[in-house]
A and B are shown apart, each in its own frame.
Chain A
Amino acid sequence: MNMQNIATAIPEKPASSPLRIVIFVSLFVVMLALCVGISGQLYKFVTMVAAAFMAGSDPAKAGAIMKNMAWLIDGMVAVTGLALASFVIRRWIATQAEHRAEFLRTFFLYLCLTVGVIVVLFPFFWMLCTSFKPAGTELLINTANPFDIVPAEPTIGNFKKVLKLDAAPTGASIDPVEAKKNFGTYFMNSLTVASMAAFLVTLFASMGGYVFAKKELPYKKQLFGLLMATMMIPGMMYMVPQFFMVCSMGLFGTKLAMILPHLASVFGIFMLKQFMETIPSSLIEAARIDGASEWQIFRVVIIPLSMPIILTLFLLTFLSHWSNFLWQLIVTDFENPLSVTLPVGLALFRGQYTSDLGLIMSASCFSIVPIVVLFLFAQRYFIEGMTQGAVKE
């Protein structure tokens, strides 16, 4: 036995109790500060959104509503803080002395993770807050507390302006094309492009994946090898030739141009093949004996059984087209608002209102918020789908 082994054989001397209490108290203080900070900002944010919608485009009125609600925010922060504090203290007391080091470690871990979440999600919270700030006040900060970023006098004017819903001068004739250049149109364009592409990609990939997983075809293996090899080619490679092809087909500036070159998804074929291989062949045989046609087998046996993976592919394709900026930028006809999608629209918009933070941020919300909501409902599909390819390789 070497020295190290002897050293570990001696039971670890427990840290002195006062030291542990000091650590606990300091962690506790940090926790309270974080809790008050986070819950304060979140409650204030919710109140702010409600006030902004109640008051419309009048920041002063919204500010007054928020002032009246301040006691409620403070009270809720106090309740949250007290609840958390009493929970932690109760747990601390209930923990036996020999487990207290472990307790402190876990406590510290939670604080680290909370700080991590703040750092990672801060940009999006800041985006939401700034989108409610009236023009000209983006520069104003709460000097007493620089971390208080929720505006005190919010407005929904930015959103109205971005959607071109703000009152037009009466009697002035509005160019219908100009009026369509708003983020409502861009949102619908992105939605159409992304869902059309996702539907077609999923359909074609499941038909192809079925062949590669379950059906006979001469040179099937070699063909699959060719598919896999093309996955190595960097996407930038396709920019010039695909642009030329789309233009010579006369599709420039159409939605079809945005999706057509990306409908053959090798990744999708790979993902669905992997999954469909696990479907027992006996099910297909049984259906065949019952006299089902090939299409019926595909529709009644294969599709329902592969639904989770099909849904995953649908969501991932939707996502990739929702944010496929480079290609959409290239094939967009800027004169035609019906071909401008959200990322392209935002890039254009930023060029026009370089330092108008509130407007840019409210425009950004149209891209971010729907995806966040989608993620909340289908996070399992997103996380598993995106990481699955990596693990299986």
Chain B
Amino acid sequence: MSAPQNSRETASSLLFLSPFLILFTVFLIFPILYSLYLSFFDSSQGFGLTNLRWVGLSNYFQILGIHWEGASWKFNDPAFWWSLVVTAIYGGLSIPLGIAAALFLAILLHNKLYGKGFFRSAFFLPNILDMLVVGVIWTLIYAPKYGALAQITSAFLGPEQFFNKVGPLASPYTALPAVVFAMVLKGAGFGMVLFLAALQNIPEAVYEAADIDGASKTQQFWYITLPLLQPIIFFMVITGIIGSLNAFTEIYAMTAGGPQLVIGEETLGSTSVAGYYLYKQFEGGRYGYAAAISYVLLAITLLITWIQQRFFAGERR
């Protein structure tokens, strides 16, 4: 290709790419730097965007630091550390349960059945529905006295029981598992479709060989099916971790961070995950602080990605 033609090709490429590239630079690259810049400011003077005051690294010291108080070291911001703990619990519950539910459904559906498509679609459907609305519906299902769960359990267990008097979302010990349950039911169909596709790619001959060698169905599951599904499981763990760090809408809709739980001398929200805590800072007008928190969360995400690349990348495929 001659030089002028080449530069014409480049020019037309740039022209085609320019709308995307401009938006990408302005709204996806620039904010990362802008956020870092904002995280050095304090906006506690008022809600306005103009009330920013340069404070250097003190937001980061406030988030991550500890101080000596009374007779022991205390976190400067225990609520932030607690939100990381809640996020870890949320991920630790929802990821394995989500994978188990998806795998269970996929194995049920991986049979010669009429109406397979119907079941596949029915399980997948809740995935595409608005998270906030699903959260609101589940809040009302869980609600004591008038919720569906309270009404149905009351018919069997009488009115004097947990679901009717308190409700799963009002007790600090059951609130997070209740959210997880709703989210697992909502998301199970997605993993199911992935598992189903992977199961269909396992050749029948592998199982026939195992049958001849006398492996039981359980052994076949643990030693053939599960290892071959590992890439999907791996993918679901990674997206699950990112999902837990980004979790916000389900918490906002179902518990608003509550119910409160007293640990030591601190009163903490039992479902206040990191994403929700970040939003609370933002809502309270502490923009610089929120920007700093989001940077800490970015660091955590990158750390997890690095660990995954470093230690588990070899196991894929």
Residues of A within 8 A of B (CB): 2, 4-5, 7-8, 106, 109-110, 112-113, 116-117, 119-124, 126-127, 130, 138-139, 141, 143, 146-147, 149, 203-205, 207-208, 210-211, 215-218, 227, 230, 232-245, 247-248, 260-264, 266, 269, 294, 298, 319, 322-323, 325-326, 330, 342-343, 346-347, 350, 355, 357, 360-361, 364, 367-368, 371-372, 375, 379, 382-383, 386-387, 390-391, 393
Partner pick for A210 among B16, B31, B146, CB 8 A cutoff: B16
From residue 95 to 140 of chain B, which have CB atoms closer than 8 A to chain A?
105, 108-109, 111, 113, 119-134, 136-138, 140
Interface pick from B61-69, B172-180, B221-229, B298-306: B298-306
Give CA–CA (A243, B305) in the complex, Å. Answer: 27
Which applies to chain A's interface (DSSP): helix, strand, loop or mixed? Answer: helix
One of A120, A247, A382 near B122 (C-beta < 8 A): A120
A325 pairs with B249, CB closer than 8 A: yes
- Point out the residue from A2, A245, A325, A330 that lies within 8 Å of B31, measured CB to CB: A245
10 sampled A-B residue pairs with Cβ under 8 A: A106-B113, A117-B123, A124-B126, A215-B9, A234-B242, A236-B275, A236-B294, A237-B31, A326-B252, A390-B232
Besides A113-B109, A215-B9, A343-B130, 19 new A-B residue pairs in contact (Cβ under 8 A), listed by A number? A113-B119, A117-B119, A120-B126, A204-B19, A216-B9, A234-B298, A234-B301, A248-B49, A260-B27, A263-B23, A264-B23, A298-B16, A323-B129, A325-B252, A343-B133, A367-B133, A375-B121, A379-B124, A387-B194
Q: B137–A123 contact, CB under 8 A?
A: yes
B298 touches A217 (CB 8 A): no
Given contacts A124-B126, A126-B141, contact A240 B146 (CB under 8 A): no
Contact flag A120-B189 (CB < 8 Å), given A109-B113, A234-B245, A241-B291: yes
Partner pick for A208 among B16, B38, B133, B148, CB 8 A cutoff: B16
B209 at the interface (CB under 8 A from A): no
User: Which residues of chain A are near B129, meaning CB under 8 Å?
Assistant: 124, 323, 367-368, 371-372
Query: Residue B34 contacts which of A235, A244, A294, A330 (CB distance < 8 angstroms)?
Result: A244
Q: How far is the CB of A235 from chain B (nearest CB, A)?
A: 6
Chain B interface (Cβ within 8 Å of chain A)?
Answer: 6, 9-10, 12-17, 19-21, 23-24, 26-32, 34-35, 38, 49, 105, 108-109, 111, 113, 119-134, 136-138, 140-141, 143, 145-146, 148, 151-152, 154-156, 185, 188-190, 193-194, 197, 211, 213-214, 232, 235, 239, 242, 245-246, 248-249, 252-253, 275, 278-279, 282, 287, 290-291, 294-295, 297-298, 301-302, 305
Smallest CB separation, B254 vs chain A (Å): 11
Instruction: Considering the complex, give the chain A residue whose CB is closest to the CB of B25.
Output: A264
Chain A residues with Cβ under 8 A from B143's Cβ?
355
- B119 and A375 form a contact (CB under 8 A): no
Specify the main secondary structure of chain B where it touches its partner.
Answer: helix
The residues of B that contact A130 with a CB separation of less than 8 Å are 140
Q: Is the CB of A230 within 8 A of B28?
A: yes
A143 to B120, CA, bound (A): 34
Q: Min CB distance, B75 to chain A, in Å? A: 21
**Residues of chain B lying within 8 A (CB to CB) of residue A216:** 6, 9-10, 13
Roughly how many angstroms separate A298 CA and B12 CA in the complex, as a whole number? 11
A126 near B249: Cβ-Cβ < 8 Å: no
Q: B1 — nearest CB in chain A belongs to which residue? A: A216
What's the least CB distance linking B261 to chain A, in Å? 23
Find chain A residues with CB under 8 A from B287 CB. 240, 243-244
Closest residue of A by beta carbon distance from B182: A123
B121 to chain A, nearest CB (A): 5
Which residues from B are CB-within-8-Å of A330? 282
Name the A residues within 8 Å of B156 (CB-CB): 146
Q: A375 and B27 in contact (CB under 8 A), knowing A149-B148, A239-B294? A: no
Task: Determine if A239 and B279 form an interchain contact, defined as CB atoms under 8 angstroms apart.
Answer: yes
Closest CB in chain B relative to A183 CB, distance in Å = 12
Q: How far is the CB of A37 from chain B (nearest CB, A)?
A: 13
Contact of A361 among B137, B185, B275 (CB under 8 A): B137
Alpha-carbon gap, A217 to B35, bound state (A): 30
A271 to chain B, nearest CB (A): 13
Q: How far is the CA of A127 from the CA of B119 in the complex (A)?
A: 21
A240 to B280, CA, bound (A): 12
B152 touches A147 (CB 8 A): yes
Among B19, B105, B141: residue with most chain A CB under 10 A: B19
Chain A's closest residue to B9 (CB) is A216
Distance A262 CA – B35 CA, assembled complex (angstroms): 17
Residues from chain A with a CB closer than 8 A to the CB of B131 are: 323, 325
The answer, among A113, A357, A387, for a CB contact under 8 Å with B146, is: A357
- Determine the chain B residues whose CB is within 8 A of the CB of A211 once the complex forms: 13, 16-17
Q: In whole angstroms, how far apart are the Cα atoms of A232 and B119 in the complex? A: 33
Given the contacts A146-B152, A260-B27, A361-B140, A346 and B132 also touching, CB distance less than 8 Å: yes
> Would you list the 3 A-B pairs with minimal beta carbon distance, nearest first?
A241-B31, A146-B155, A323-B130
B10 close to A218 (CB less than 8 A)? yes
Give chain B residues whose Cβ lies under 8 Å from the Cβ of A244. Answer: 34, 38, 49, 287
A239-B294, A240-B38 known; A139 and B145 CB under 8 Å? Answer: yes
> Roughly how many angstroms separate A234 CA and B297 CA in the complex, as a whole number?
8
Given contacts A4-B214, A143-B155, A218-B10, contact A233 B298 (CB under 8 A): yes
Chain A hits for B31, CB < 8 A = 237-238, 241-242, 245
